[in-house]
Structure 1
């Protein structure tokens, strides 16, 4: 009898939770019919003007704040929670710009992963109708530019912003107005409506916000960000399904087995969640990366390629034990050794990278054969390797370069950003040091700019170059302004900017990076002069004081390289026995810009990389060159900071994308390559 009761309780519980899951799934994946109303951008009057704006976005179940950051291509600090609304709804800060077609838009991009994806489906499913479809064709692997619908208020106080909100079926005009404290007439005027009954669903509406939204989620601990978010719809559906189940058995006829099953199942779920939370806290894992299973060290080389890449952040912060690993104590081969606690003091803090045995490094690189050699720098050589079935880049350094080795460890294990190369781990032998990074499939920007045809590389398109500039600027802005401790890179150059499989840029080589200190002159660090000739700021050469503006100066040289395809120093063409002179790229570009104007840019055009085959908007080239000139100003005080540079390049990228659209898709901008006309 007891066995029958338990069995009945089990199946009653299964039926109950199946009903709950079915009901909540219906709530999550319900799609409204497409409205006859069409989303249209808000018109504007002054092209190039801009303002801060916000996107109201509902966090999908299972997604994290990092997913939203990647989707909108913003920093985590630009994502805010909303008070007084569903816990799954956040606000994303974007830069809203008046385009040359006099429409307010913000720019982002989405990587197409399936043949069935269209621009319309991406706007609807990924961006929740916050985007504006322009009829672009899609192809798998393409980085599709997405225009986000945003707005600015003319003559509005500095504390007033516009939020783009997609009106839902459950929303009412009065509820929205009261929730955000908006004026009825202002709300109707902003959305070009005549009465409150004409609000259709699934259409973007602009709501004025009297003050900046609630606190940024950028300071929330990683474990909180990684915790799955439960949407309001899910909560409501769960409650509704329970009420339905209760009502269907009204009159006290609820089976005893069902009650027992529900209680037992609930207790098991609570116990499982408690055990999981305890495990996560105990292991102190860095879960900022993604909500996927951890990396399995025993997988074969035929395992999925995304295992290590998706979990590089997890690996880089895993608290692995510092154990000795000696392949053969009686042989003369090198040993894997551990670093002493005194040596490592102050390097990692709470996060530690994975320690790989030296034997594994040898196997990964096929004992550092020439075929795996990627390049060499002042502090070591870089090799491609196959580590635990995945492609990685391994920097091999002599033990005398311990200072640079620790500098990279200190920075890269504390700083994580999509535009900074990710550290996976390290290894140490008797007389060598090794750093293991994510692998950049498309090598360094310098390889793609400086005589790429001789290296059998296809030249980069103009739009790809602008995107690379923006990605690099975002990475530098992050270490300058958005980390707990601010850093200067001190060696910004095109050979230290790497390209991933989608030609997105990542700043690399932090061996010279330094923590900056606050002084009366701002944030500075005084050191011996290091870096690469042609990129060094005059005040750094003169005084040895490195600041964020020193990195800005070097970035200006990078902009000139992206425009011209030339190196920081180029040799002049001579005839006879006259040796060629070296000219700095800065002097060449400043000469070309000396008397140019937006309407007379013949000298500048002569400097543009001929491999672009005149497939570029000359006005955008001039704007980038002008930005480069501002970055290399003699006086660091008048140089822009990286935040201003990011803002300017964001506008520049939007203008370049609009130029691309006028070509009716005849260019190869989205592949990032020029393949000819």
Structure 2
């Protein structure tokens, strides 16, 4: 063997060391940050983001949502030891004005290395009843972690905290890496994830590149699942401003009793998740009790209020579709004006705002034509916010009881009620872009349309809302009337599931799935097992969701889709499935042109086929559908971003 010289030996060692670094420490090469998926986990990423940036100190941004007692800029600045004038300037808000709960506030902060991790340090005086989880998840809303606070204690050997103890709170932040600086990134924002959020939608909201946001958090199109109340780093090319934040969210007059669940598609557990606080679960328990009390009160109200016969009404269905029959049971009630004081007692039990008819008349200019939206729905202005006010006759207890117990971004919020002269008025949050049915059909008279990315966002939103109903409400519920006209779009084209009049618990008192002879719903959307046997399970909504996806993909309503179908609607998918040379162009909504990723569209076809299977046991759960659509949405937005960049060259 030839002898190896000392320089050669040193060169070999250098190469080996480089290979070892590449294999064992890829984060030092890519210089990105690990996503911590639980605010109280024991991994090192829970201590903070690694000091791997170009600078050991930089300006970073934090996103905080106003909540009492931190509901003005001065108190928020004090909590984070930040400059209130800078917060006021970037948010374009007064320093002392009281902010509605959940108003988003941008906080400029100096982010510095402390040992191995970046952090913004602030101090906090422990209050009676505080614990690590309450401080991390409630007070600081996930911008710090249990482990980071414990690790930062002056006497870390003393695990417990005590009232009036002053803690140093390490707030999560980071500085751009060399790679990010080379890509034009100047700032990183710590954004606390909310239920229903997806990485792609967060990036788009702040004008960030989706692929860069995934990379900044060591995520990918295949691994894009995120958890509520954890932080996501958003890479920004310029300082953010108030135009991207939700400055004045519409909120009910009192907190909703049931907390939103994780947007992660993992199945629900009987034990609380690690990152949730005792306070949130206390709210959950109160919500269950309050909801039950409200149902009893609403039932008592209806006994006193209604004794009039209501004529039986047929459901609005496509006239061309004659495959199924639907009927609605007649309800016999007689209305009688109920004193306002009695409604006020309902409000105190149900945590709902009770309006007088004068309030609603003032809000709508006496239900004037300029405020009319459609049917018996009017747009009104209450406390400076736009709301939707719907007139309803008959039994509304089911819809009120369901909506009062749920709290999720993708389900329409019931803000208040009114009863006058035998008529109910329900006040909802306002969805400015109206029903999805106005946007997806080829023959739409207004020729409105949605691009591929927005369609995938709507699909993901609807799936997330249904997953909440199926897995996170107590008891679990099915909607039973999922269709395009019952999906409302807000100003950002985010979907809200509406119309809960047919919703019901999944299981009876004996814990078994329920059977019914009273078949109600919309023709074309009803699952075979429900039509044939009256079986009510979550798979009923899964089937309807498959129909909705098919309409969104083709631009055709369910009546058109049934033309030429012999038995089951899934027959329309047969030419595409198992055919490598399948022509999607003749199947996809022509208004999309070719502006969609074909492989993603094909995966949606496969998902629709699974949703429409005759055997309900063969259909995917909404948990699985949320996982699939989360990846689909991320891939679609990355594709759109790449296509836009290519076309601009």
- TM normalised by structure 2 equals 0.54
Distance 1:436 1:621 in 2: 38
Could you tell me which residue of structure 2 aligns to residue 466 of structure 1? 456
Q: Where does 1:198-597 land on structure 2 (aligned, <5 Å)? A: 215-218=273-276, 220-222=278-280, 337-338=338-339, 351-376=350-375, 381-398=376-393, 401-402=394-395, 405-451=396-442, 454-455=445-446, 457=448, 459-517=449-507, 522-524=512-514, 526=516, 528-570=518-560, 582=563, 590-594=571-575, 596-597=577-578
Q: Measured at CA, do residues 126 and 385 of structure 1 come closer, stay the same or move farther in structure 2, by a change above 3 Å?
A: same
What is the CA distance between 1:35 and its match in structure 2? 13
Deviations 1:421-446 (A, max 9, x none): 11100111122111100000111111
Q: Partner residue of 2:627?
A: 647
1:251 matched residue in structure 2: none
Aligned to 1:290: none
Shift of 1:584: 6.3
The 3-state SS of whatever aligns with 1:392 is: strand
Name the CA shift for 1:23/1:634 in 2 (closer, same or farther; >3 Å).
closer
Q: How many residues align?
A: 414
The question of 1:631 aligning with 2:597 is answered no
Of 104, 110, 118, 1:30 maps to 110
| Corresponding position: 1:149 with 2:229 | no
Q: How far apart, in 2, do the equivalents of 1:584 and 1:35 lie?
A: 67
Q: Secondary structure at the match of 2:439?
A: helix
Conserved 8 A contact 2:352-2:417: yes
With over 3 angstroms needed to count, the CA separation of the structure-2 counterparts of 1:137 and 1:419, relative to structure 1, is closer
Q: State the SS of the aligned residue for 1:126.
A: strand
Distance 1:520 1:224, change over 3 A: closer
Residues 144 and 387 from structure 1, CA distance in 2 versus in 1: closer, same or farther, beyond 3 angstroms?
Answer: farther
CA deviations over 1:98-143 (Å, ceiling 9, x no partner): xxxxxxxxxxxxxxxxxxxx99467444379xxxx99x99787889
Q: In the TM superposition, what is the alpha-carbon distance from 1:28 to its structure 2 partner?
A: 10
Contact preservation (8 Å) 1:385, 1:394: yes
Distance in 1 (alpha carbons) for counterparts of 2:485 and 2:597: 26
Counterpart-to-counterpart distance in 1, 2:517 and 2:138: 49
Structure 1 residue 373: Cα displacement: 2.4
Superimposed CA distance per residue, residues 400-427 of structure 1 (whole angstroms, 9 cap, x where no aligned partner): x21xx11111111111001111110011
Answer yes or no: is the 8 Å Cα contact 2:585–2:594 preserved in 1. no
Structure 1 position 126 matched with structure 2 position 106? no
Conserved? CA contact 2:463–2:625, under 8 Å = yes
Q: TM-score, normalised by structure 1?
A: 0.51
Residue 259 of structure 1 aligns with which residue?
Answer: none
The answer for unaligned runs of 5 or more in structure 2 is 1-74, 84-106, 118-132, 154-182, 194-198, 221-229, 234-270, 289-293, 302-334
Q: 1:63 to 1:593 in 2, by over 3 A?
A: farther
Deviations 1:38-96 (A, max 9, x none): xxxxxxxxxxxxxxxxxx9x95995436x99xxxxxxxxxxx966994699xxxxxxxx
Question: What is the Cα deviation at residue 336 of structure 1?
Answer: 7.0
Match of 1:64 in 2: 141
In 1, Cα distance between the equivalents of 2:560 and 2:434? 22
Residue 484 of structure 1: how far off its partner (Å): 2.2
Q: Secondary structure at the match of 1:605?
A: coil
User: Which stretches in structure 1 are left out of the alignment for 5+ residues?
Assistant: 1-17, 38-55, 69-79, 89-117, 153-162, 167-212, 227-283, 287-315, 323-333, 572-580, 669-676
| 1:599 and 2:562 correspond | no
Give 1:600 deviation, angstroms. 1.8
Assess if the C-alpha contact under 8 Å between 1:514 and 1:525 holds in 2: no
CA drift of 1:515 comes to: 1.5
**Which of structures 1 and 2 has the bigger CA Rg?**
1
Give the 3 Å change call, closer, same or farther, for CA 527–414 of structure 1 in structure 2.
Answer: farther
SS in 2 for 1:31: strand
User: Retained in 1: the 8 A contact 2:515–2:533?
Assistant: no
> 1:504-554 CA deviation, whole Å, 9 max, x = no partner?
111111111111225889533535111111100111111222211000000
Q: Secondary structure of the residue that 1:627 maps to in structure 2?
A: helix
CA distance in 2, matches of 1:225, 1:349: 16
Q: Deviations over 1:176-204 (max 9, x none)?
A: xxxxxxxxxxxxxxxxxxxxxxxxxxxxx
Asked if 2 retains the 8 angstrom alpha-carbon contact of 1:569 and 1:584, the reply is no
Q: What are the within-5 Å matches in structure 2 for residues 58-97 of structure 1?
A: 62-64=139-141, 85=150
Paired residues of 1:617 and 1:659 also in contact (CA < 8 A) = yes
- The aligned counterpart of 1:663 is 643
Q: 8 Å contact 1:524–1:546 — kept in the other structure?
A: yes
Cα deviation code 1:569-591 (max 9, x no counterpart): 118xxxxxxxxx94569956633
Counterpart Cα distance in 2 of 1:586 and 1:651: 32
Q: 1:383: how far off?
A: 1.5
Superposed CA RMSD in Å reads: 5.2
* 2:373 alignment partner, SS class: strand
